[in-house]
Structure 1
Amino acid sequence: MGDPAALANTDSIHDGTEDADPLHVLNRRHFLAVKSHFRQRKHEALLALAVEDPGRPVNLMNDTLLHVVIACNKTDLAKSIILQMPVETLAAKNLYGDTALHVAAAVGNSEVARELFGKREDLIGEQNLKQETPLHKAAFYGHHDMFWCLVDEGNGSPYERREDGATMLHCAIMGNEPGLALEIAEHFPLLITSRNTMAVTPLQLMVTVPGLFRSQMELGGFESILHDFIPLEKDSHRTRRRDEEEAGGSSNDAGQAEAAEQDDHEYFGRHRTIRSRFPSCCCTLVDILVFPVKWVRLFLFFIIRTLYPRTRHLEKIKRTHRKALELIEFLARDPRNMEFYVLGRMQGDGGAPAAGFRERGGRQDQLNAPAASTRRWNEPPLILGAQMGIPEFVSTILRVCPEAATYLDTRGRSVLQVAIEHGNREIVRTIREMTQGKNPILPSWLLSRVDKGTGRTILHFASANAPEHNQDALQMQDELRWFETVRDMVPKELVYSRNAQEMTAEEMFTKSHQALLKSCKVQLMETGRLCSGLIAAVVFASSFSIPGDKDPATGNPVYFGRAAFKVFSHAYVIGLSCAATSLVLFLSLAMSPNKEQQFRRIIPTKYFFARSSFGFAMLSFLVAFTCNIYLQLYGWQKTKSKDLIPFVLELTVFPVNCFLVLFFRGFTFDIPFLFRSWR
């Protein structure tokens, strides 16, 4: 049976109600025997070991043989062991307090789970040291069939909480499984407004999971193109709650709901298809034209998916992003939920209290404010999304629930002020579009609001902060353009409004961006010094020689009539001209005063031409030197393909391979950087 000390330690661990010391004694003979049987697939020997002593620990995690068999996905062997094990031994727990059903729920083995709770139903309600039930495990790992199997055939409650107060909906979101989370929210609507011990709701929790949003993921150039190319069909899976409602509802009610849904989509501009952009009389023609394109795209995607296995991973990522947006829409659709987020919490929801918030036109005192460590979660989900810089999260909430923009955070800031203060420009652009027009969705006071305590407008928010770490010589241009964008949003009478310190927004901008201005000047000089040195090394330090000797009869080079010589001569002259231009422009940048407003137009323009001419000079010299080498090697004879092909391969194979590897591994070309000075 093993060492007595180990068995005593096992008993304390199996209790599952208090922490225990890890198992310090390992029966190596038993461990190696089990490992050997697994490697040699001796299932009968493993079954004999399980029947002989079902509760015997196998490893230092205190797993029983049944735990290990289920974790290895040996379904038939696990079912055989379960049938021959005594009922009382099925509840054996490992070091973390997990039963065999916890392990089956984590790996998603529904067959083994049915055998377990078919023989002992109370396993579904068993908790580990974190107070997790098998339902929590299934929700966290996103096993759809397993979760609903436990809900339908078991006696476990879907409203159970972990020790941190997390519900099944919290677990599904933390496990990056928005599809299952959406089904849980639809089937158990009370979980939508549930809070954990830190007073975090499911909608607030979503902003902390970067994998749910496309804007939070860094994909390379090739993978970004492939991600956008992946076709996803409309999800035809109907959730359990919708099936039940449609089974009990009438077709008339369904038609009215569908019409209301369509009106809602048209008003808020969501899910616009190609057909909706044309008159109804043209829909048939549009379908005829789109149908072949759709199938061609599916065919190309099938080929790419076969040749590039990572496409499956990107497809899963894109499906997760789509499901995340659907989940946000469902959680934020009801305006009453938004009031719950900003006015406090319901009694008995198991979470810490949340603070009250000031609403425009009135003020409420804080209701049972939590500790300072949970201050972050006092903010509404919309404010959190603006702080974290998740544009799709914010735009989705604003589309389905525009009322959310009327609430302020604990510091009295609107969502627009928060987005501007954190420099989230795409969110600001979205809010600006929704405040324009004759009948805007969002109220115009978001643009004209003045903070009562500090007297700051949104233009003051835009000018208050500068980047702490600057790695771009033209960062000042971005800041000036950003300031101008917000200035265009502010009503004219507030452009030169003064705050409590009697400072206009422009004065604040100048004061807060002094360090950035100095940093940009230094980087311009360093860039000019580096490029000038490279040009000098290539042009003046390189020996210049015309390929071939001179013809005694004419005095011209012997290769004067060859096409390669003409390319060489023109490329070298162009390179020399571009190099001289680049040197002069970089010298001008180093000697100019570089004042603040000059970074808006003149300095970026000089910098653009200096960099462009430097690039053209390097490219021209490369072409000239290539032609020179070619003439020196093959200029004395007529060019043949057997000579030309090796020469081209020697020049291009290694650079092309490097480019392809970098492109597939995430390298991107920052082409917009070259042209942004013209905007």
Structure 2
Amino acid sequence: MEIREEENPKFDLKMEEPQKYALLGKWNYFKNYFKKDDHQRAADLIEPFNLARKNAIHIAVRSDDPDLIRELLDMLPEDSDRRKALRMGTAHLNTLMHQVVFCENLDMVETLLNYEMEKKLKQPGDENLLELVNDIGETPVYQAAKHGRLRMLKRMSRYVDSMEPHLYRNSDFASNLHIAIIGLHFDVAMWLSKKEVIKKVASAYVEGINEKVEPDEKEGSENEKDGNFRLSCLQLLSRMPSVFRSSNAQAGIAHNLIYDCLPNKGYDDEEDEDNDDVSTRGKEDLESGKNKVKKSFSPSAVSSTIYYVICKHVAKEWDIVKEIWKKKQKNMQANEVADFLVSIDNSWRDTNHGDRPRTEVVLPVIQPTNVARTRKAFQERTSFNLTPVKSKDYTPLLLAASTGIIEIVEKIIDVHPDAVSHVQRNGQNVLHIAVKHRQKKIYKHLKKFKVLNGLGSHIASHDRTLLHQVARMDYYDGGNQPGVVFQLQDELHWFEGVKKIVPSHFQLFCNDDKLTARELFDLEHSEMLEEAQEWIKGTAQSCSAVSVLVATVVFAAAYTVPGGTNEHGVPNLINSPLFLFFTVMDVVGLATSLISVMMFLSILTSPFQMQEFHKSLPRKLTMGFTLLFISLTTTLLAFGSTILLIIRVENKKWSSSLLYSATFLPVTLFGLTQFPIVIAIKYRMKRLRKTLEKIIPNDIISLSKKPTHKRDYSKYL
């Protein structure tokens, strides 16, 4: 087959030699290659060097060596070539200054700017090197913010007259603050938040992007339907629960302990010598700077510095500590950015109170009960249809409530108390959103402000009360309960808990499908009920078989005592403390295993109706699991005591310790494998404690608690 060479190759094959030098970082060889045959090879400096159509000077920026860049520019024969080298772009039109963004040596910026000035290469009408854009309209300053290069961003900002030309890129008018938040570069976002023009950028979907893309904001336009940046910065942050501390709720005790012990100063924070120009500061800033210097020599500052150094040394040795520290740093930066964005956010003012006609009571429809037909009709009417929601319909408060970011909800309500009464276009408020997304942290937070009853009386679109929102499974993600039985119980608890704050006449209120909240709950959870029935039947059968097996073993062990008996049938080792321990463990194991069999059999004979999963069945299952765990544990302990009695190793401590460890190993492994069930048992114990608290008089409970001052937000409803 004939191979034809490309008519216009992207680079000359003779560049392969300097390409090898660049890959290996041998910059002296790289430079010397272009010194040979001065006129010929020097001209090759601005020819395509690789497939990305970068030239040799673009590649040399990797060296982080300003002197090398100056030498290569000086090799070019004409000033026109030098001007071209400074301004020409790659395949994506990234100029030499765009490449400098990724350098660690900040002096590279001054090197290019000073070189252009010294050689007088700038012609009338030429833009500043920092204002040249690539193929998607990004300036080098914008690109520095996009990639989280904070130190380079600060240095470049010194040489621009205004930050406004660098706030947006021309292709889609996405702001650099939006991009920094999406890229999780919160240190960059914090620095940008201090700029005067950034307030307009932060609420871009109101004043920035719509104004540039579609000035008249016609509803239903392409830009309204598409465009990831039709969100404000606070809305973006409200969709990022992982960057806030509240996302660590499921973290272990060790993780939280390390998190709390680490200093607030970030792992990567160092004294930044690249501050803004001192000449731009006011007298007040200079005075505050002097005060900071004085405080830096105080004993508390010295001790905190020592503690920081110790923690940093530990983090270098332990990667897990470093990861937790960086996560804490990210959380703190996100909190600071949220503080700024919340302070300027007014989206909650666009409320929809009174826009929809109110309906107080809708009587339930009386019709013959045909469960199969009703379920089929309901499924046909609620077929899945993905409908995009306009960004203005979900304000940052509602978005944060849907994702469970308690930090943003707290900040918004604290800074703007009246935001708690915000209602979106479909009639839902912050409580509706929190309830249907099962965000219990948000629910508990609103409960502190005494606003649940007021918010719970609102009726959303499709005539959905708050109870209808609980009944829906549209946004249910499975929860954090182990096993479908406990998940269904959690849903039933959630429904009953919300019912307490809803007006009593809403319990018979029908939605536009002519269903009450309870009927909707039963229909939506019918599949979960079937799964729970199958799961609990299989689990009860398996566990009852294990319980019977344990009961058989411990029953037989009671008549085969270790050490045997004498002619009168008295155990030979009856006076040994270990024999008494064996007897007690054997009796406890037999009793608990038999009771657990009774529990599992009672489960198998239950009717398995929906209401049975509220308390009865999960309680029996939890008790059965607990008793089975105790029976297995005591059986293993009885076995260990039997071994110690038979081989008589009381005087050999190392042998005793080894046998004890071997005895407890199966118990430990069983506990680890059943850890979700253990968590479920812990959860049930908490509920039992709350039940017992209801029995104790309120006066006694109030004496045991510290008085707290709660802010009352009910007046804002």
Q: TM-score range by the shorter chain?
A: 0.7 to 0.9
Contact in 2 for aligned 1:102/1:137 (Cα 8 Å) = yes
Deviations 1:405-437 (A, max 9, x none): 44433423222222222222222222232344x
Q: Does the alignment pair 1:45 with 2:33?
A: no
Displacement of 1:150 after TM fit? 1.3
Give the letter aligned to residue 320 of structure 1. K
What is the identity, as a one-letter code, of the residue corresponding to 2:529?
L
Matched, 1:447 2:438: no
Q: Residues 50 and 65 of structure 1 are in contact (CA less than 8 Å); yes or no, is this contact kept in structure 2?
A: no
Distance 1:392-1:145 versus aligned 2 partners, 3 A rule: same
Partner residue, 1:34:
22
Structure 1 residue 575 displacement after superposition: 1.6
Q: How many Å separate the matches in 2 of 1:413 and 1:303?
A: 51
Match of 2:235 in 1: 204
Q: Distance in 2 between matches of 1:318 and 1:222?
A: 14
> Percent identity over the alignment?
21
In structure 1, what is the equivalent of residue 424 of structure 2?
409
Aligned residue for 1:264?
Answer: none
Aligned partner of 1:399 in structure 2 is 414
Are residues 1:609 and 2:597 paired?
A: no
Once the two structures are TM-superposed, the CA of residue 557 in structure 1 deviates from its matched residue by: 4.2
Cα offsets for 1:260-285 (capped at 9, x unmatched): xxxxxxxxxxxxxxxxxxxxxxxxxx
Distance 1:457 1:578 in 2: 46
The one of 451, 468, 490 equivalent to 1:460 is: 468
Matched, 1:54 2:45: yes
3-state SS of 1:529 partner: helix
Matched residue of 2:235: which SS? helix
Greater Rg by CA? 2
How far 1:167 moved relative to its partner? 1.1
Distance 1:243 1:360 in 2: 50
**Structure 2 residue 438 is the aligned partner of structure 1 residue 423:** yes
Residue 150 (structure 2) aligned to one of 126, 144, 150: 144
For 2:263 and 2:543, the matched residues in 1 are separated by: 45
Rounded Cα–Cα distance in structure 2 between residues aligned with 1:431 and 1:248: 44
Cα pair 1:132 1:162 within 8 Å, conserved: yes
Alpha-carbon distance in 2 for matches of 1:242, 1:583: 78
Report the counterpart of residue 228 of structure 1 in structure 2.
Answer: 260
Provide Cα deviations, 1:69-123, integer angstroms capped at 9, x if missing partner.
Answer: 5446567656665666634224454444433432332455422233234334833
Q: Which residue of 2 aligns with 1:384?
A: 399
**Partners of 1:556 and 1:168 in 2: CA distance:** 87
**Aligned to 2:641, which of 595, 603, 627?**
627
The answer for the alignment partner of 1:569 in structure 2 is 583
**Worse overlay, 587-596 or 168-177:** 587-596
Separation (CA, whole Å) in 2 of partners of 1:72 and 1:481? 63
For residue 487 of structure 2, what is the aligned residue in structure 1? 475
Query: Closer, same or farther in 2 for the Cα pair 1:377/1:241, shift >3 Å?
Result: farther
Q: Which residue of 1 aligns with 2:352?
A: 359
Q: Which of 627, 635, 653 is equivalent to 1:641?
A: 653
SS in 2 for 1:200: coil
CA contact (8 A) 2:61 2:99 kept: yes
How many equivalent residue pairs? 591
Q: In the aligned structure 2, how far is the partner of 1:652 from the partner of 1:75?
A: 66
Classify 1:514/1:250 alpha carbon distance in 2 versus 1 (closer, same or farther; 3 Å).
same
SS in 2 for 1:131: coil
1:434-474 deviation line (CA, Å, top 9, x unaligned) = 344xxxxxx964232123x5333212222333858684212
Measure, in 1, the Cα distance between the counterparts of 2:651 and 2:174.
75
The 1:245–1:629 alpha-carbon spacing in structure 2 relative to 1, beyond 3 Å, is farther
Distance 1:250 1:108, change over 3 A: closer
Q: Report if aligned partners of 2:10, 2:50 keep a CA contact under 8 Å in 1.
A: no
Structure 1 equivalent of residue 367 of structure 2: none
In the other structure, the counterpart of 1:508 is 520
- Residue identity opposite 2:159 in structure 1: E
Q: What's the offset of the Cα at 1:676?
A: 5.0
Alpha-carbon distance between aligned partners in 2 of 1:83 and 1:672, rounded to the nearest angstrom:
74
- Report the 3-state secondary structure (helix = DSSP H, G, I; strand = E; otherwise coil) of the residue aligned with 2:651: coil
Q: Which of 230, 239, 244 lines up with 1:213 in the alignment?
A: 244
1:284-299 correspondence to structure 2 within 5 Å: none
How big is the shift at 1:586? Answer: 0.9
Deviations for 1:462-491, whole angstroms, at most 9, x for unmatched residues? 233385868421223212221222222224
* 1:486 matches 2:498: yes
What are the Cα deviations for residues 561-619 of structure 1, in whole angstroms up to 9, with x where unaligned?
Answer: 33333333322221222111111101111111233333333333222211111111121
Q: 1:330 to 1:240 in 2, by over 3 A?
A: farther
CA contact (8 A) 1:463 1:483 kept: yes
Residues 138 and 170, structure 2, Cα contact 8 Å, conserved in 1: yes
User: Could you say what secondary structure the match of 2:448 adopts?
Assistant: helix
Task: Tell me the C-alpha RMSD between the 2 structures.
Answer: 4.7
Aligned-partner SS, 1:639: coil
Structure 2-normalised TM-score?
0.70
- Paired residues of 2:393 and 2:425 also in contact (CA < 8 A): yes
| Structure 1 pair 572–165 and aligned structure 2 pair: CA distance change class (3 A) | farther
Moved more, 471-480 or 119-128: 119-128
Provide closer, same or farther for how the CA distance between residues 528 and 206 of structure 1 changes in structure 2, counting only shifts above 3 A: same
Task: Give, as a single letter, the amino acid of the residue that structure 1 aligns with 2:20.
Answer: L
- Counterpart in the other structure of 2:189: 181
CA separation of 1:560/1:294 partners in 2, compared to 1, >3 Å: closer, same or farther?
Answer: farther
Give 1:623 deviation, angstroms. 1.7
Instruction: Measure, in 1, the Cα distance between the counterparts of 2:678 and 2:19.
Output: 50
- Native 8 Å contact 1:455 1:498 kept in 2: yes
Which digits, 9 at most, give the CA deviation of each residue in 1:505-557, with x for residues without a partner? 33433343333333322222122122223334445379848474425466444
Q: Which residue of 1 aligns with 2:133?
A: 127
Q: Which amino acid aligns with 2:28?
A: E
Partner of 1:13: none
Displacement of 1:189 in angstroms is: 2.3
CA distance in 1, matches of 2:128, 2:93: 15
Contact 1:105 1:138 in 2 (8 A): yes
Which digits, 9 at most, give the CA deviation of each residue in 1:40-88, with x for residues without a partner?
xx43112224664434555544444544554465676566656666342
Q: Decide which moves more: 639-648 or 603-612.
A: 639-648
Give the aligned partner of residue 275 of structure 1: none
| AA of the residue aligned to 2:583 | S
2:173 is matched with 165
The amino acid that maps onto 2:458 is R
Q: Is 1:105 matched with 2:105?
A: no
